[in-house]
Amino acid sequence: MPALVNSGYETENPELLVPSGIAQALGLWPETREASMERYKVAGGAEIRVVRLRGSAKVEVLTGNCVSVATLCDVVVSEGEEELIISDKLAGSLGLSIIDIGEGTWCFKEEIGKKVRKSY
């Protein structure tokens, strides 16, 4: 399932922002263990309400010939979002390196200078 890396989504721990419909399809929400309601500030200073599910997912990046390190992260469920969004700390934990944001090119850290991958 494609996800966006957002360097402006700054977190203390690895987080994956998930639309509520996808969280439901994955069985993460509303049937959940420990959840907490939180307020997040988004671009422009607006606040949204989200539900945080601590340590509720293992995430990895799959490409045609490579798999990243599996990383445990918090899932943050948002009713207003339509795409999966990877936080700065989750991107780092997964070993992702952005080459050109505008062109949508990236690689794994160990591939820097050796390989360029194109986003969806």
Give the type of residue at 35: A
How many domains would you assign to the chain? 1
pLDDT of residue 71: 97
Mean pLDDT, the chain, whole residue set: 91
Tens-digit pLDDT profile for residues 19-57? 999 999 988 887 666 788 888 888 788 898 999 999 999
Residue 30 CA, distance from chain mean position: 19
Tens-digit pLDDT profile for residues 51-66? 999 999 999 999 988 8
Q: Cα dist. 56→1, 40, 43, 81, 93 in Å?
A: 17, 19, 26, 19, 16
Q: What CATH number does the domain containing 64 carry?
A: 2.40.70
CA–CA distance, 98 with 80 (Å, rounded to integer): 26
The answer to whether residues 82 and 19 touch, using CB atoms and an 8 Å cutoff, is yes
Q: Determine the structural domain holding residue 74 and report its residue range.
A: 3-118
Tens-digit pLDDT profile for residues 105-116? 999 999 999 999
